[in-house]
A and B are shown apart, each in its own frame.
Chain A
Amino acid sequence: MGGDESYSKFTQQELPACKPILTPKWVVSVFFLVGIIFVPVGVVSLLAARDVVEIVDRYDDACVPANMTDNKLAYIQNPNISKDCTRTLTITEDMKQPIFVYYQLDNFYQNHRRYVKSRNDGQLRDAAKANQTSACEPEKTTADGKPIVPCGLIAWSLFNDTYSFTRGNENLTVDKKDISWKSDREHKFGKNVYPSNFQNGLLKGGGTLDPAIPLSEQEDLIVWMRTAALPTFRKLYGRIYVDLKKNDTITVRLSNNYNTYNFGGKKKLVLSTATWLGGKNDFLGFAYVIVGGLCFFLAFAFTLLYFIKPRKLGDHNYLSWNRHPAGR
């Protein structure tokens, strides 16, 4: 044997190796270090989350005319009743631009298995694949068998409430450019794919699409088709590049088209600023502070324990056969 030194070290399982041992020093240092990192990060995140100003307005119930509150479904399904609705929002804190306009849906299972699978990404990219509607059931073709572009439940259920904002007499323009992912516009939705046979069925799921505009420019559709992970979700509607002051009153003119009344869903309008951490959610900050604090506590607890019950490392008196010599 022998020959190649490192090879023989390998075969004899004697490769040079590091054998870390969890000594008291290590344990306390690790907890201490985690605490030192986590508490400040937590505090910073908390402060950042506090800085975010968020205004949420649930409007689905409020926009139903008083005489129809008992039969919301009839209201939303009747095309002859106007769906226009006006809401007034008061700004609670100063809001720096850009202000993000979201709509929030509650109890809308965009992650329902029937729903998430019902799409065909090939069709969306390539005009030549308009007939490729597999997996799009039950919104695959029209009754006379023509392929729907874009097909599938997701597209069919496109959200179609619209909002416009005024502050006093000043129109606050909502910038609806760039609300979707650039990668989606460039690679996922074709520049030469145009909607066809869309929303022609008996049951209308949601919005319609202008057949003259290619899918890559239908940003609302693109946003909608990035299906949400959780049943309560927000989607970006647009941005307002105007600073809003505290106590400003904003009038929202909205058309309440989208039917959430049939399944007990809620619709909310959200105006929010943003930080590096995203929106107004102080969970992360609390989590960091609590975990950091816990680690400090553990560091002290272990220090205490090690003092109360010290043990000499590697003392062979602790070996079981030395502790109970007659035990065997």
Chain B
Amino acid sequence: MDMNGEHRIAASRETVWTALNDEDVLRACIPGCEELNKTSETGFHAIVVQKIGPVKARFEGEVELTNIKAPESYTIQGEGKGGVAGFAKGGADVTLAEEAGETLLAYTVHATVGGKLAQLGSRLIDSTARKLAGKFFDNFQAHLNPEPAAETA
């Protein structure tokens, strides 16, 4: 599964960068996140519950940040095991650009799934991933700006 996208966030690049490295922010913003704890300067342990098509699973895994160029970019790499549901693994290159006091966040994702997730959910991975990414950025935006502007349809 390959996906890329851009989101404009109404906050400074430093604010966004800090939030993207803050385990409390991430735990609050990642859809279905049950646990997220820093295990090192650049590592996290996470448990995320997700439903993809007919497969609902609790993924437990490690996430590692590499290629860190604060506050411009990093690569986030991770793998989660979901028991009989299979596994998901992949990474995303994330860049932050300053634009008129706001931040343009761009990402490219490459991910693969295996086991039951591939057998039952492969056609739904793309749309699910897009939906989850959208939800994450909505949450993220809301977290940074507790009183956001009225949403456009």
Same complex origin of A and B: no
**Residues of chain A at the chain B interface (Cβ within 8 Å):** none
